[in-house]
Amino acid sequence: MRVSVFGLGYVGCVSAACLASLGHEVVGVDVNQDKVELVSKGRAPVVEERIGDLTLRVVAEGRLRATTDAAEAVAASEVSLVCVGTPSAANGSLSTLYLERVAEQIGRALTAERRHTVVLRSTMLPGTCADLLIPILERTSGLRAGADFGVAVNPEFLREGTSVRDFFDPPKTVIGEIDRASGDVVAALYEGLPGEVFRVPIPVAEMTKYADNAFHAVKIGFANEIGAVSRALGIDSHEVMDVFLADRKLNVSPAYLRPGFAFGGSCLPKDLRGLVYAARRADVSVPLLSHVLPANEAHLQRALDLVMAADRRRIGLFGLSFKPGTDDLRESPLVELAERLLGKGYDLRIYDANVSLSRLMGANRAYMEQRLPHLADLLSASAADVLDHAEVCVVGCADAEVLAALGRAGDRTVIDLVRLPDAEQRRARPGYVGLGW
């Protein structure tokens, strides 16, 4: 395939050389004449493992060249990869200046005679492609995206220092496509490379890159704070993390990584508080760990805000325990939500198949008597009774009886805290609100 790569920094230079090594005919484009001259001489403009030898080889073989002429590069290719930088502005916002300039250059070079596909590799916030770049491409070309030319978002997962290795052995390939034909072009570029391929809507591809990088940053911050506390307590943090990382069922796994409601129970809040207290006593600053509980509180507040926005007084709460399959109410976020709703004067009814006032005992009963002393007046014997009472249904569990009741919710507002099995269908109906989807 004939490919033009816009931007010859780390991502663009590596993408261009690696694609050329796969047999594609590649032309690199950059406004910096020095970078163009370096590539033309077979020298990589960046310092990176293996990139020097690879660039020298593919240039010598005639599969990679470079130019400052954007129009010539578009004319000589079937697909353009945009790999320009998106640096932070002073206030932390994303700078799209280079993206806009390249979109204008490519748009002016597009023609109706042949379909060209524009593939955006730069990291950009969701909506950037659809709301900013596609309109620029359409305005400058006079053509229609998805009809006259293709558009895709293909985020890169290249780490500086190992980017060539990462290109040939990617963790995954993500293709956000405006249409199937655009996605087919991108898939063909990487044919034969390992890793699962995800073909998704463009905003999902844009957001995936941010989810990845945010999680990597959280992991590093988490490991460093555990290290700092461990050292202060005289413990080898690497021994601790060796044990931690060996758990592939709960720790290094998909466990707990599905957006839902706030966490609670008798362990997580208590143990976080204990660890932060131990750090404070040892005079160790742990801002990440210190803000986990406030972040959880903010998520609970989102749910309360959704109920208040519905502007109805009769509320049906489905679920009360801190997670399905248990009657443990200690530090349950649903108990906290119920308490706040009552405090604001809402007329509340609750159903939870696992919660019976007569069976509560010990610390569990004591907690409820402290937080919801009038629980007996709020609990209903069936999900149907709660539905009949409710103008707004707040769904904190999804057992069979609850799902059956919600099947006849009609035009009631449904606030989904757990992502119901039919959430995708419900999203198209008026009155349905998902907490994080």
Distance, in Å, from the CA atom of 194 to the CA atom of 386, rounded to the nearest integer, reads 51
Number of residues assigned to the chain: 437
Q: Among 13, 18, 267, 393, which one carries the catalytic annotation?
A: 267
Please report the DSSP string for 384-415 in residue order.
HHHHHH-SEEEES---HHHHHHHTT-TTSEEE
349: left (phi over 0), alpha (psi -120 to 50) or beta: beta
Annotation marks residue 13 as catalytic:
no
The token duo for 422 is 């039919």
Which residues of 301-434 form beta strands (DSSP E)?
Answer: 314-318, 347-351, 392-395, 413-416, 432-434
Look up residue 185 and give its amino acid.
V
The token duo for 268 is 């997580």
Phi, psi angles (nearest 5°) of residue 329: -105, 0
Contacts of 23 (CB under 8 A, 6+ apart): 63
Please report the DSSP string for 252-265 in residue order.
SSSTT-S--S---S
Residue labelled with tokens 């004067």: 345
CA neighbor of 320 nearest in space, from 408, 423, 395:
395
Residue labelled with tokens 């966490």: 263
The token duo for 64 is 């990679």
The token duo for 294 is 């406030």
What does DSSP say about strands 79-82 and 64-67: parallel, antiparallel, or unpaired?
Answer: unpaired
Distance, in Å, from the CA atom of 412 to the CA atom of 180, rounded to the nearest integer, reads 37
Distance, in Å, from the CA atom of 331 to the CA atom of 293, rounded to the nearest integer, reads 12
The sign one gets for the Cα dihedral 166, 170, 176, 179 is positive
Active site residues: 267
